[in-house]
Amino acid sequence: MSPRRRDAESTAAARAERRAELLATAAEVFASRGYAATTVREVAEAADMLGGSLYYHFDSKESMVDEILSAFLTEMWAAYDKVTGSGLGARETFEALIVESFRTIHRHRPAVVIYQNESKHLATNPRFSYLTESQRRFREMWLSVLDRGVTDGVFRADLDTGLIYRFIRDTVWLAASWYRGDGPLPAEEIARQYIAMVLEGILTTT
């Protein structure tokens, strides 16, 4: 490899690393202050740089939140698709999805908070139509698992699966508002305890 090419690759790697750092900072700021209420200047200040310098990496605040959310959802769906395509039974699929949800919160907590707080507003912009599609897929995935569990006699038939889905959605994902990676319980242990609490209520007794 020529010195010029090596230098070019080193520069590209350094820029990619800096870009990732800036996205992480932006995610924290958007999550804590709210996307609409945050200016590009505030993101730049949090990153300890001039506002104009941020435009060297991103053309707009919209581009930043787009990358934050799309990266989070891409990783989340890769994990979910692996679980749902693994041939597990309904109960095992239920448990694995809860675990992957908390792992996602651990890795992308600020992005999850942004998703929870900003999706409804952002989805009115065609650029963010994938947010509505993700919500639809999420609902269909969970209802499929729950309905299969009822059909197989694993989950109680007297409980409305739509209500169970909403309970899971709200109790799991709203955990991003209080979860801390350096807290006393790791993500997997929180998931285990959530699974125990939820399954206690929906499993059949036989």
Taking only the tens place, the pLDDT of each residue in 36-68 is: 999 989 999 998 887 777 888 888 999 999 999
- 89: alpha, beta or left, given left = phi > 0 and alpha = psi -120 to 50? beta
User: Rounded distance, CA 73 to CA 111, Å?
Assistant: 9
Lowest mean pLDDT among 21-35, 48-62, 131-145, 181-195: 48-62
- What the block records as the tokens of 91 is 């109960």
With beta carbons less than 8 A apart as the criterion, state whether 51 and 44 touch.
yes
Bridge partners (DSSP) listed for residue 155: 203
- Alpha helices, H only, the chain: 3-33, 40-46, 51-54, 61-84, 90-122, 129-151, 161-173, 187-202
User: Rounded distance, CA 174 to CA 41, Å?
Assistant: 29
Q: Does the structure show a pLDDT above 70 at 14? A: no
Angstrom distances, CA of residue 52 to CA of 29, 37, 41, 55, 66: 18, 19, 8, 6, 20
Q: What is the pLDDT averaged over residues 11-36?
A: 86
pTM (2 d.p.): 0.87
SS3 156: coil
The answer for residues whose C-beta is within 8 angstroms of residue 13's C-beta and 6 or more apart is: none
Phi, psi (rounded to 5 degrees) for 38: -95, 135
Bridge partners (DSSP) listed for residue 203: 155
What domains does the chain contain, in order, with CATH numbers?
A: 1-59 (1.10.10.60), 61-202 (1.10.357.10)
Residue type, 62: E
On average, the pLDDT of the chain sits at 90
Taking only the tens place, the pLDDT of each residue in 61-111 is: 999 999 999 999 999 999 999 999 999 999 999 999 999 999 999 999 999
